[in-house]
Each structure stands twice: as structure tokens, then as C-alpha cells.
Amino acid sequence: MTELENMGRRAKEAARALATAGPKKDAWLLEIAGALEAHRDEILAANRQDLQNAKESGMSEAMLDRLALNPGRIAGMAEGVRRVAAQADPVGRVISGGVRPNGLRIEKVTVPLGVIGMIYEARPNVTSDAAALCLKAGNAIILRGGKEAIRSNTAIAEIMRAAAAKSGLPEDGIQLVRDTSRESALGLMNLTGYLDVLIPRGGAGLIRSVTKNSRVPVIETGVGNCHVFVDESADPEMAAGIVFNAKTSRPSVCNAAETLLVHRAAAEQILPLVKKRLDEKNVELRCCERSLRILGGPDERLVPATEEDWETEYSDYILAVKVVDSLDDAIAHIAKYSSGHSEAIVTQSVRSAGEFTARVDSAAVYVNASTRFTDGGEFGLGAEIGISTQKLHARGPMGVNELTSWKFVVVGNGQIRI
């Protein structure tokens, strides 16, 4: 039995206890929150080591910022765990039920998924966020973070495990893979028979690798090539405001817009307005021929677009821009290039809004609002473990309810099937 199989076996055992743990799960979560604060200095010491190693190996400033913890961020982690504890128990909820003509009482009841694997990158706060959400839904979790954060993650995981004792629950409900090699990631992807699902969280490269190589069922998350379409009838100021927000309020996240599509009848009026707003943040525009002409490019921040631009999630102050002939063309462009995350239409036409929301096949479709709202908190689901861009099991922001399955509980008095 390999080390990972051994972890899988222990996780399965822990999952059995967690499945029926009820409020004990919240006791463990509250212990975790307190322990993260009580052991703040240990976590910060481990994080300083990670940061020093990362600097020595030449990590970028943006990545260093993602890796860095400070007292405020640790307080935020603890607060996040407390918020998860305060949510309603997602397990044991009766989804539907009734009595059949033969007298059988059938209830469809939520249960945990079982054992969840999580492969993620540099941000150590994911360690406590993901563990809290999985635990709340009665699942055991095996965490495999990036090598850059291994010391921080190890410290956090040990603190969470040690907090189990007082709640009477098995510490193996939370396990961290210490080996951060590519082999350990591949090992998790092949840990069928132990893992019920694997959730990758990180950049497009990680997600692609996991969906391609995993034999364990995967929930694909977080790759966002999001579009805003400004229709013929759009309110110009609203359109400029939404595009500006969708692109620039936080360009590094998956719900930021990457391509602007503009109806040709609105292009002459809308594009200069949009450009004026985006200039505040020095956004570079990668333009189709028509939009380039309208905006008077090319110049330093007005660049002709290539095919690749329609496919790219920039995660940066860059926006692809295309003039389209119709709503149909906009929908066709989105069908071809979107990653199925979030798309918005700006329009005053009820008919265009209806067509767009019905025919665009993405996790979230917006009318007259920014794509930036696709988020568990904003949608009222509480904290999220990721945003699914696939259609199986869960789609869009996934909260604790999306970390459950169901069983049918059938009660009779001797019924047999004729």
C-alpha cells in the first residue's frame, strides 16, 4: 500500500464518522478557528520560510503577495471558518419525499460526497477554506497544495488536525500530502477507490492537467474567458460602466471580462465611451478591424487582434474587442470561444435579453450587470470552494450544498415487488 493509498484508507474511515457527526462538525470548526488565531505566530514563522525560499527562487511580486500571510489574513482565515460553521448543516436535508401507492415512504436525503481531493497552488488560505467547507458537508479531505506554500500549509493543516480531539472527531478528516512533486498530484488523480471527487483550484494549466489526467471524477473550476456583449439598444453609460467594472475591478480573477463584443449599430457611439473609461486604468485593447478603425488605432494601447486573442484569458489589463453584426453573431462568438463561466449582455430590449439568457450556455448569464458577481458570497451561497465550469454535478459557484450527494431512504412494512 502506497503512502497515498494509506491516506485514502484513513480518509475513508474518517469520512464514515463525519457522515453522521451532525453538530460535532461545527464544534471542530470553531476549535479550528480559535486554534488558527492562537497559533498565529507559528503559522507566520512557517510562512516567512516559504516566502524566503520563494524570493530566492525568483518568484514574481504578484505571486509573493498571494503566498504571503500576515496577522490580518490569518484573522480572515479564522473568520472564514467561523462563517462556514454558522451555516445550516447541508447533510440530512430532505430534498423530496412522499408515500407511494404501495405504502412505501420514500425520502431523498442529502449525504456527504465522501472523500474529496483538492489540488491547489500557492495561496495558503485555501488550506483552511477548503478544509472547512468539506468538513461542514461531512466529507474527509486530502489536500495537496503547491510546493511554494508547503511550510505554511503544513503548519495550518497540523493546527486544524490537532483541533479535532475536543470535538470527538477523527483528525484524519483533514490530511495534507507532504510530497509536492508532480508524482503526488498524479497519484491523487489515480486514487480511485478512495477519492469520490477531485477538485483542482488554480491556473488554467493546473485545471487542464487535472481534467486530462485524472481517473478520479473531477469538478472543473475557475477558468474564465468571459464576455460582455453591448447590444444595439444598450444604455451607453451603463454599458461603459459595466465593461469598466468587469475588466478592471480585479483583472486577475476568473469572473473578469476578457472580450467585449459590440453590436455594429452601437459601435460608433459605445466604443469611444468605453475606451475613455478604460484609459483610466491604461487598459490595452486588442481590436478587430472595425473597432480599430472606429477607435483610430493602431497605437501603443490599440493593437490589432489575432485569433488567439478571442481564446485568451488575459487575467490582466487587456481586453479583446470585436464589432459583431447581430445578437446571433455575438451568441455564436461566445459559443465558439467561451469557457462557459460568465457572460453579460447590456441591452434595453426584452427580446435580446431573453434570447441571450436562453441561448448562451454558460454557468452564469447576466442582463445589465457586471460578470464580476459570479461568486458564492455574491450569489448568497456563503463561502465557495470554486466555480464549476462543467455541467455535471454542479455548475457555477459551489458552496457546501454542492459538496453533498443524496441517498433514498425507503421505509415499508414488509412490501415486496410483484
φ and ψ of 239, to 5 deg? -60, -50
Identify the residue among 113, 133, 169, 398 touching a copy of itself (CB under 8 A): 113
Identify the residue among 2, 60, 72, 380 touching a copy of itself (CB under 8 A): 380
* Residue 93 touches a copy of itself, criterion: CB under 8 A: no
* Least distance in angstroms from the C-beta of 363 to a copy of itself: 6
Spatial distance between the Cα atoms of 6 and 333, rounded to a whole number of angstroms: 48
* Residue 273 touches a copy of itself, criterion: CB under 8 A: no
Spatial distance between the Cα atoms of 57 and 27, rounded to a whole number of angstroms: 40
**Region of 75-83, 108-116, 140-148, 307-315 interacting with a copy of itself (CB under 8 A):** 108-116
Q: Closer CB to a copy of itself, residue 128 or residue 337? A: 337
Spatial distance between the Cα atoms of 143 and 126, rounded to a whole number of angstroms: 9
Separation in Å, CA 345 to CA 69, 72, 370? 38, 38, 9
Spatial distance between the Cα atoms of 260 and 231, rounded to a whole number of angstroms: 11
* Residue 252 touches a copy of itself, criterion: CB under 8 A: no
* Residue 359 touches a copy of itself, criterion: CB under 8 A: yes
Separation in Å, CA 161 to CA 31, 73, 132, 173? 10, 20, 12, 8
**Region of 67-75, 159-167, 265-273, 403-411 interacting with a copy of itself (CB under 8 A):** 403-411
Which of 356, 404, 395 is CA-nearest to residue 376?
Answer: 395
Site for a copy of itself in 3-22 (CB under 8 A): 16, 19-20
* Least distance in angstroms from the C-beta of 198 to a copy of itself: 10
Which of 361, 366, 296 is CA-nearest to residue 333?
Answer: 361
**Region of 29-37, 46-54, 127-135, 352-360 interacting with a copy of itself (CB under 8 A):** 352-360
* Residue 241 touches a copy of itself, criterion: CB under 8 A: yes
Any idea what the Cα angle at residue 72 is, between residues 68 and 74, rounded to 5°? 70
Q: What is the DSSP letter of 221?
A: B
* Residue 1 touches a copy of itself, criterion: CB under 8 A: no
Which of 28, 7, 21, 10 is CA-nearest to residue 160?
Answer: 28
Identify the residue among 152, 366, 383, 385 touching a copy of itself (CB under 8 A): 366
**What is the chain's Cα-based Rg?**
24
* Least distance in angstroms from the C-beta of 89 to a copy of itself: 13
* Residue 98 touches a copy of itself, criterion: CB under 8 A: yes
Look up residue 90 and give its amino acid.
Answer: P
Place of cell 435580446: 352
Identify the residue among 63, 64, 75, 106 touching a copy of itself (CB under 8 A): 106
* Residue 336 touches a copy of itself, criterion: CB under 8 A: no
Half-sphere exposure (CA, 13 Å, Cβ side) for 65? 4
Residues within the interface to a copy of itself (CB under 8 A): 16, 19-20, 98, 100, 104, 106, 111, 113-114, 192, 196-197, 211-212, 215, 217-219, 235, 238, 241-242, 244-246, 249, 335, 353, 357-359, 361-370, 372-374, 378-380, 390-393, 395-397, 405-418
